[in-house]
Structure 1
Amino acid sequence: MYHNWLDRWDERRAWRGEEAKKVTDFILDAGRAFPGEKRIETIDEFCVLADQALCDSSWYDEPSGSGLSFERHDGWLRFPSDISTDVEENNVVWAKITESGSHDQALVIFHHWNANARNRQIAKFFSQRGITVVEIAMPYHFERSRPGSLYADYMLSSNLGRTIQSVRQAVWDGRKLIRWLKSEGYGEISVLGMSLGSWVAGIIAAHDRAVSKASLFLTAGSLADMVWTGRATRSIKNSLEPEIGLADLRRAWAPLNMENYADRLARSDLDLHVVLAKRDKVVLPELSERFTQRLKDAGARPNISELNCGHYSLGMPPYILLAGLSLKRFLSCTDKARRT
Structure 2
Amino acid sequence: MLLSKLIDYYALYDLHKDRSKENQYHIDFDHAPTNIDRDVFFEVPSSLADIDLNITSKENGYSIGEFGFESLRPSGDHPNDYVRGESFLNEVGNKPNVIFVHGWRMKGFDRVKKIFHDSIMNNLGWNMYYYTLPYHLERQPEASLYSGEFMVSANINRTVESTRQAIVDLRALIQWMKNNKQGPVIIIGVSLGGFISNLVATLESEIDALVSIFYSNRLSYSIWNTIPGKYIRRDLESHGVNYNDLVKYWELVEPNQALPKINKENILLISAKHDQYVHIQDADLLWESWGKPTRYVYNCGHAGIVLKRKKIEKDTISFLQNKLKR
The two structures have a TM-score, normalised by structure 1, of 0.85
> Secondary structure in 2 aligned to 1:253?
helix
Are 1:126 and 2:116 counterparts? Answer: no
The correspondence for 2:44, drawn from 57, 62, 68, is: 62
Tell me if the contact between 2:208 and 2:262 (Cα under 8 Å) persists in the aligned partners: no
The correspondence for 2:149, drawn from 153, 162, 177, is: 153
Partners of 1:16 and 1:87 in 2: CA distance? 28
Are 1:246 and 2:239 counterparts? Answer: no
**What is the match of residue 194 of structure 1?**
190
Partners of 2:206 and 2:216 in 1: CA distance? 23
Are 1:91 and 2:50 counterparts? Answer: no
Tell me if the contact between 2:201 and 2:261 (Cα under 8 Å) persists in the aligned partners: no
Amino acid across the alignment from 1:259: N
Are 1:28 and 2:27 counterparts? Answer: yes
Partners of 1:89 and 1:303 in 2: CA distance? 38
> Deviations along 1:212-271, whole A, 9 cap, x unmatched?
21111112432211121122111111111242222221111111101111x2x1653761
> Secondary structure in 1 aligned to 2:41?
coil
**What is the match of residue 97 of structure 2?**
106
Are 1:331 and 2:320 counterparts? Answer: yes
Shift of 1:104: 3.1
> Deviations along 1:108-164, whole A, 9 cap, x unmatched?
111000111213332332233132111011101111111142322110000110000
> Deviations along 1:276-331, whole A, 9 cap, x unmatched?
011111111111112211111xxxx4111111111123311xx1111111111111
Partners of 1:182 and 1:132 in 2: CA distance? 13
**What is the match of residue 236 of structure 1?**
232
Partners of 1:276 and 1:120 in 2: CA distance? 19
**What is the match of residue 35 of structure 1?**
none
**What is the match of residue 218 of structure 2?**
222
Query: Unmatched 5+ residue regions in structure 2?
Result: 56-64
Shift of 1:335: 5.8
Shift of 1:5: 3.4
**What is the match of residue 6 of structure 1?**
4
> Secondary structure in 2 aligned to 1:259?
helix
Go from structure 1 to structure 2 and tell me whether the alpha carbon gap of 1:70 and 1:267 turns closer, same or farther (over 3 Å shift).
closer
Tell me if the contact between 1:220 and 1:291 (Cα under 8 Å) persists in the aligned partners: no
**What is the match of residue 260 of structure 1?**
257
Shift of 1:177: 1.4
What root-mean-square deviation, in Å, do the aligned CA atoms of Structure 1 and Structure 2 show? 2.0
Partners of 1:292 and 1:206 in 2: CA distance? 13
Greater Cα shift, 125-134 or 203-212: 125-134
> Secondary structure in 1 aligned to 2:212?
strand
Amino acid across the alignment from 1:255: L
The correspondence for 1:81, drawn from 71, 74, 87, is: 71
Tell me if the contact between 1:29 and 1:159 (Cα under 8 Å) persists in the aligned partners: no
Query: Unmatched 5+ residue regions in structure 1?
Result: 31-39
**What is the match of residue 33 of structure 1?**
none
Q: Alignment identity in percent?
A: 20
Are 1:50 and 2:24 counterparts? Answer: no
Are 1:313 and 2:294 counterparts? Answer: no
Tell me if the contact between 1:228 and 1:246 (Cα under 8 Å) persists in the aligned partners: yes
Partners of 1:116 and 1:325 in 2: CA distance? 25
Partners of 1:334 and 1:307 in 2: CA distance? 22
Shift of 1:187: 2.4
Go from structure 1 to structure 2 and tell me whether the alpha carbon gap of 1:270 and 1:138 turns closer, same or farther (over 3 Å shift).
farther
Partners of 2:324 and 2:54 in 1: CA distance? 34
